Structure 1
Amino acid sequence: MIGVVLGGAAGVIALAAAAALAYRRLRQHRVARTLAIDTPAGIAEGRYLRAGGIDQWIQIRGADRANPILLILAGAGLPMEPFTPTLRIWEKYFTVVLWDRRDVGRTRGRNGKAGNDTWTFSLLADDGIEVIEWVCRHLHHDKVILAGHSQGSIVGLTIAARRPDLLHAYVGIAQITDMARNEQLTHQLALDRARAVGNRKAAAALERAAPPYRDVRSWITKQRWSFATDSGMRAWQQTGIPAVLCWPGYTLADVYRRVFGVLALPPGLFAGTISCTPQTLGTRFEVPIFLLHGDTDIHVLPALAEQYVATIDAPVKQFVRLPNTGHLAMLSHPDLFLSELLTRVRPLTATPPATS
């Protein structure tokens, strides 16, 4: 009898798993169909290119190749490709390039973690410069708009300082600036949130993982519980995780690597993140600088980014608080973010009139 019961349960589980996989395949097909680009000058490509001596993945999409290029650098471990449907409204005005840098997405899947103990933000910036140069040649443009989110914002500003000739403008999203102050303040905010709702597990973990952070494990613990006690982040995960799960071309192994890759951080990138200051980022730039920051971001504090902007010297500099948005402003409010890009940044890409 027990064998019959167990066998029946196994059958039910197998049927449920088969149904879930069939539904996933259906969703993947629907996503792929809705993302088709059929405009005469449109582009929809995904490919590996050689940068920094390894294969690195990029996705290029847009309704018109003549539109300005917007290249997005994601945060730690976060592949942006599955969120293409969210950013689809940008493709009418920009050719949107998503880059899976080292240890992210398809690039991580192709290369693994080999050599990650030598990775630095300087190396990632060198990779990024190669990627930008390739994209410009491929699309017959001479510059891009570079947008860096969270940890990607360190890479972005490093590129902006080194190669302003390649950029129309730099756009920082949840821009990291003064990490020592940021981590002291955001740790306390997370601890306060945990205590306020009676989450003893989170509070205990945060009490053990207090700044200053000298090892990646304690910092990841702090980040994990900081996000877990953020109601806005939890709400976004209800759509974010299914987006990764149902992205066309991702196997279940890809999904596993993409989701848990967010929790991985090589030692050099941890050290570079945690030691980031306005001085290490630099305060003199030869390219317009725009920081578009969620005004309710409780992970990378807008006040510190605003203070940083006040200290920099650039041809144009603007700090913009996006109302009622948090750490993932561009994904949670893509229409608001697009409006700011069109108003403040895209006009800088216009070709000046020829002089007689």
Structure 2
Amino acid sequence: MNTYRAFLQSQMNPFGVVALAICVLLTCPATSFAEDNAKDEFTTTREIIGDYQRITTPNGVEESFIVNLNGARQYVSVRGNDRANPIILFVHGGPAAPEMPIAWAFQDPWEEFFTVVQWDQRAAGKSFPLNEPQDMLPTLKPEQYRDDVISLIEHLNERYGKRKVILMGHSWGSIPGLMTAAERPDLLHAYVSLGQIIDFREGERIGFEQILRVAREDGNSEAIAELEGLEPYPGDGDFSIEKIGVQRKWSIQYGYLSAGRNSARAYFRAHRLSPEYGPADVMAWQQGSAFTIQNLLPKLADVSFKDVTALDVPVFMFMGRHDYTTPNEPVVEWLTKLDAPHKQEVWFENSAHVIPADEPGKALFKLVTQVRPFAVNAGDGAPIE
């Protein structure tokens, strides 16, 4: 048994993915089947997906590179069918939960209208083994990630001949994302947030109260006991990783991560078929996540944007109706008071916290019809015919 299969089987039952691999292989010509059949099923499936998603347009871009951002080497992936299209820079959540290994499941159609940049932040994913962890330790603070976003945008603008990008922050990524929108609006066509954090402590409180409420309505004695054992939640001072872990366990089971699902299995297993991530990358993802959560998450308890009352950039808040991982109530209240050249609530009725996975078609539709015109009107990309 090869190393990749052993690793995957140690993580969870691979039957479903093996079945998918077999189905894919049965559609191949005999010569390809014979060649692929000698390989590990997961490796073969990743190769098939990668080949299917290969950018073939004359003016397309499909490249990955390592860039030094403020003293830390970091891994970047860039994909798009036309370099003339606006750039979307996706700032992933977590902390240290890269979207790059999951993006293959929804990003392909985005690449017809945007050049999409997935970036593994410092001490996350493919960037984790590029630097000594102890060197990263004193830099794990929101302001540093904001500075990394700014430096990366400047690098992308120079590399691809752009003046601005569309910045998209997800969950934790909405913290350095919104900080960047406040600090350097001149670099952005628009700021788009998925699962925006406005006041971290307040959001945790609201999410906890909702989960405990539904657990009581459900008569779930195990959930009630575990959640009541956390009170007061989230409490004062630094966040407790252990407490957040218990809260997230029940939040996920009640569908507040991915709507209508009682686990994160579908979302997080997608990395196993990623053309961009091999077994060593997945291991780095896990190691970076453990390192960063331990050293960064407790410091985020007092993060708040309530005093940000004006932004000089169009603002879009993408909100999943069922999201209690980062609850919407503080976002709606904040957006109502915000002074911006354009601001918009965009609701996803069948989504929770992972909108691109829960409603990929609607997410793309809103990006193309409502966000992209701000870049086109600024001379970046052609109108959709």
Q: TM-score, normalised by structure 2?
A: 0.80
Residues 10-34 of structure 1: CA distance to partner in whole angstroms, max 9, x if unpaired? xxx9xx99x9681111111111111
Q: CA deviation at 1:198?
A: 5.2
Aligned to 1:24: 42
Q: CA deviation at 1:43?
A: 0.5
The answer as to whether partners of 2:350 and 2:358 remain within 8 angstroms in 1 is no
Q: Distance in 1 between matches of 2:110 and 2:93?
A: 19
- 1:97 corresponds, among 104, 113, 117, to 117
Distance 1:133-1:34 versus aligned 2 partners, 3 A rule: same
Aligned to 1:239: 266
- 1:274 corresponds, among 283, 301, 308, to 301
1:152 aligns with 2:173: yes
1:212 aligns with 2:239: no
Which has the larger displacement, 103-112 or 23-32? 103-112
User: Counterparts in 2 of 1:345-356, with a 5 A limit?
Assistant: 345-351=371-377
Which has the larger displacement, 141-150 or 324-333? 324-333
1:88 aligns with 2:108: yes
Q: CA deviation at 1:217?
A: 2.9
1:125 aligns with 2:146: yes
User: Counterparts in 2 of 1:46-61, with a 5 A limit?
Assistant: 46-61=64-79
Aligned to 2:182: 161
Question: Which secondary structure does the structure 1 equivalent of 2:133 belong to?
Answer: coil
Q: Distance in 2 between matches of 1:263 and 1:207?
A: 26
Counterpart of 1:173, as a letter, is: L
Q: Distance in 1 between matches of 2:148 and 2:161?
A: 20
Q: CA deviation at 1:271?
A: 4.4
Q: CA deviation at 1:301?
A: 1.4
Which has the larger displacement, 299-308 or 263-272? 263-272
Q: CA deviation at 1:191?
A: 2.4
Q: CA deviation at 1:321?
A: 1.4
RMSD: 2.7
Q: Distance in 2 between matches of 1:335 and 1:278?
A: 30
User: Counterparts in 2 of 1:1-356, with a 5 A limit?
Assistant: 22-76=40-94, 77-82=96-101, 83-111=103-131, 113-114=133-134, 115-197=136-218, 199-210=220-231, 211-213=233-235, 214=238, 215-230=240-255, 233=258, 234=261, 237-259=264-286, 261-262=288-289, 265-266=292-293, 269-279=296-306, 282-351=308-377
Distance 1:182-1:249 versus aligned 2 partners, 3 A rule: closer
Q: CA deviation at 1:300?
A: 1.4
Number of residue pairs matched by the alignment: 338
Distance 1:250-1:320 versus aligned 2 partners, 3 A rule: closer
Which has the larger displacement, 82-91 or 201-210? 201-210
Distance 1:205-1:116 versus aligned 2 partners, 3 A rule: farther
Aligned to 2:383: none
Q: CA deviation at 1:344?
A: 1.5
Distance 1:257-1:201 versus aligned 2 partners, 3 A rule: farther
Q: CA deviation at 1:85?
A: 3.4
Residues 234-288 of structure 1: CA distance to partner in whole angstroms, max 9, x if unpaired? 46734323321122353324324435755654466324532122335x2221111
Q: TM-score, normalised by structure 1?
A: 0.86
Question: Which secondary structure does the structure 2 equivalent of 1:278 belong to?
Answer: coil
Q: CA deviation at 1:180?
A: 2.7
Distance 1:261-1:90 versus aligned 2 partners, 3 A rule: same
Counterpart of 2:319, as a letter, is: H
Q: Distance in 2 between matches of 1:352 and 1:157?
A: 21
Question: Which secondary structure does the structure 2 equivalent of 1:71 belong to?
Answer: strand
| Gapped regions of structure 2 (runs ≥ 5) | 1-8, 19-38, 380-385
Q: Distance in 2 between matches of 1:103 and 1:197?
A: 39
Q: CA deviation at 1:53?
A: 0.4
| Gapped regions of structure 1 (runs ≥ 5) | 1-12
The answer as to whether partners of 2:223 and 2:250 remain within 8 angstroms in 1 is yes
The answer as to whether partners of 2:348 and 2:359 remain within 8 angstroms in 1 is no
Distance 1:228-1:264 versus aligned 2 partners, 3 A rule: farther
Residues 303-348 of structure 1: CA distance to partner in whole angstroms, max 9, x if unpaired? 2211110121111111121222111012221210111112211111
The answer as to whether partners of 1:117 and 1:267 remain within 8 angstroms in 2 is no
Counterpart of 1:321, as a letter, is: W
Distance 1:230-1:261 versus aligned 2 partners, 3 A rule: farther
